[in-house]
Structure 1
Amino acid sequence: MTGTSTGTDTGTGDAGEVLTAYLQDQATEFLRSLRLHRESTTDAQGAEESLEAACALRRAARRIGGTLHTFHPLLDPDWASSLRSELAWLSGTLAQEHAYATRLYRLLDALHRLSGPSQLPPPAPPVGTAQAATATPAAGATATAVGRRSARRLGRPLLERSRELGEGWAQPPVPGVVEVGNTPRGLAVGAAKAAALLERQLTLARTRAHSTALQAFGSSRFHAVADNVAVLASEVPLNGTERHDLAPLVEQAKTALAEAVTTLPLHQAGHPYNAGALVHGLASDTAPDAQDAPWLKVRSLLRLYRYAQEVTGPHAEPRIADASHALNVHREAASAAAAAAHAARTPRIAPATAYALGVLHADQRHEVEAARFAFQQAWLREEARTR
């Protein structure tokens, strides 16, 4: 990005130009992605192009919004606040369909892994998104690429790693459940029905998110956002009464991030398989949300700091990318665990189905714990090297 490569000087002389160049680059990327989104064809290749364009549009919207948040003292306050909130609405709306598709793939992949290949076939990419893209390419997305990205993020299953270390977690005894090979019969019986239930619920949610995205693309609110971004591509309203200095604002973002990290239980997270995430996940309904909230806040602040680093220069801290990846996996696993718990509360489901969903929920909470461990290792890496 041009703004990233030119933003090596954070002094007062060129700071305004650096910020302007970065915002204009992101606005241009937003408009280019929007054009590709609208011009995508209705065939399979066009659906793939539509997905890539939608992802690029969301990335640009997040970066513009994050930059407006961090450097708002240097910008017109009313304009920056208004555009930032509208970009947050747009990015959140467009992200929902992708999130549901990724969540479904993650859960089906985990069920396949836990129940054994002979009991449940590997998950196919969710069907329906590409067809929806054929009808309305502006908001369509193909789930194949989503599934591939999700599979790459999963890495080696946590349960298998636990067994290799000799620290595998034992399932609670369930009446009438016996082992068939390495797989409990209750899990083998309930996995298929659990997969069908999850696919039905999450596909419905994804369809609704798709409809919401369609309505957003056709709304006057979206057109107003696109018009404001088009203006931003040619002119950035800097606040002439403020001193243009980027470094203090970047330092503020770094300080806010560091303070948020201090609230995390990094000492406990530094011990793998400590069962902290699982214990809270088995408590009351609100406990996992309350426990995950500080980690989600750190993820948001880490993203803001990473975008601020992009503005001021191409050299980021080495640990930032690894820490960001760990917290992204943390959020996905936590959302997947919540979806499994929600499905388990479905009235009148068979005991074997509920058991499979319980095992799936525990597996995803273990993935949450593994992500916290990965974040702790990445974040404290530099301190360990200096000891």
Structure 2
Amino acid sequence: MSVIPGAWRRTAAGAGLLASDGTVVPTIFAEMSAAAARTGAINLGQGFPDEDGPAEVLDAARSAIASGANQYPPGRGIPDLLSAISEHQKRFYGLEVDPGSEVIVTAGATEALTASILALIDGPDDEVVVFEPYYDSYAAAVALAGAKLRTVPLRAPDFQPDLERLAAAVTDRTRIILVNDPHNPTGAVFDREVLTEIVRLADAHDALIVTDEVYEHLAFHAPHTPIATLPGAGPRTLTISSAGKTFSTTGWKIGWVHGPAALITAVLTVKQYLTYVNGSPLQPAVAVGLRLGDEYFTGAASALAAKHEILGAGLAAAGFSVFAPQGGYFTVADATAMGGSDAAAFCRTLPERAGVVAIPLTAFVSDEHREDVSGLVRFAACKRVDVLEEAARRLATSF
């Protein structure tokens, strides 16, 4: 008899983390981070910054700790952060969000996504449509909920979905269309035609839309467009974001989800049995961050875009074909011409060969679509400029 309960076994298997004999398979992320530690290679695999966020936000956290904000906050989140989220959505996107009934604070966007999927799935016949490659927690959450994952591939060079394939994937069995925009790992920003088609299909099949918008302030060429702002989308959309990427505080795990009150109540019902609450002194600090001036948000995007240019130049000089991202932390490059048609094998040799760590895009796809991304590699640009310059130098001189 298995000692792993059925739901957890299903989750691990659905996420590709459980071998046929029941043992847990280490992820490529853990393997590559270990390689970086072992070899001293520059770790461009994991997507976390190596610089602190804005001083005002960090100072607000210190002040909150010193003033005693160290016990359980309210289950929905502290009122000031709920108000700040509402103000933020109005200020940047014109969205009206009731802070008392239409938003909750979560333990990062990952908890918001998991709680939303668990809350909204009705049974094993439900399907969740995602765009592939996808953030690895999506498959795990869908598997835990007992639903079926349907994927729509995103292919180079623009990583925009084929609308006919999208329409074929969304059926009357679709319960949720999960949209990550700006997209991890490809760096794509979905165009208006794609967003409009998602809303049309959701309406036609009475599906819900759950969005992962953690890179909302890191779009490089045009302001981010939340799908909830499109006509007809609001009543069926849950919008998720977090402070981690915007304020370079990924370890704080302060996220949020907003949408129609009935849907938020369903999510809260699940969320209260996950973390219950979190980050009491960090919540007022995030409220400060959300109220920073426009120059902070535009500056964060332009600074990251410049880092991508440094990284991209080094990759191109090394012989990679580079797909310049439209937003987010990551640059994707094709290593096929450099003997990297098997991206996973290529990434395993990269630390010793070039002193740099990266992640193969095969880590973000199902077996069905591995061939589509077999030579593609993801590099994180959210590092200090001097680190990126050294990584670019190593890459350019190693091939």
Q: State the TM-score bracket (shorter-chain normalisation).
A: under 0.3
Which structure shows the higher helix fraction? 1
Structure 2 length normalisation: TM-score? 0.27
State which structure, 1 or 2, has the greater radius of gyration over its C-alpha atoms.
1
Structure 1 length normalisation: TM-score? 0.27
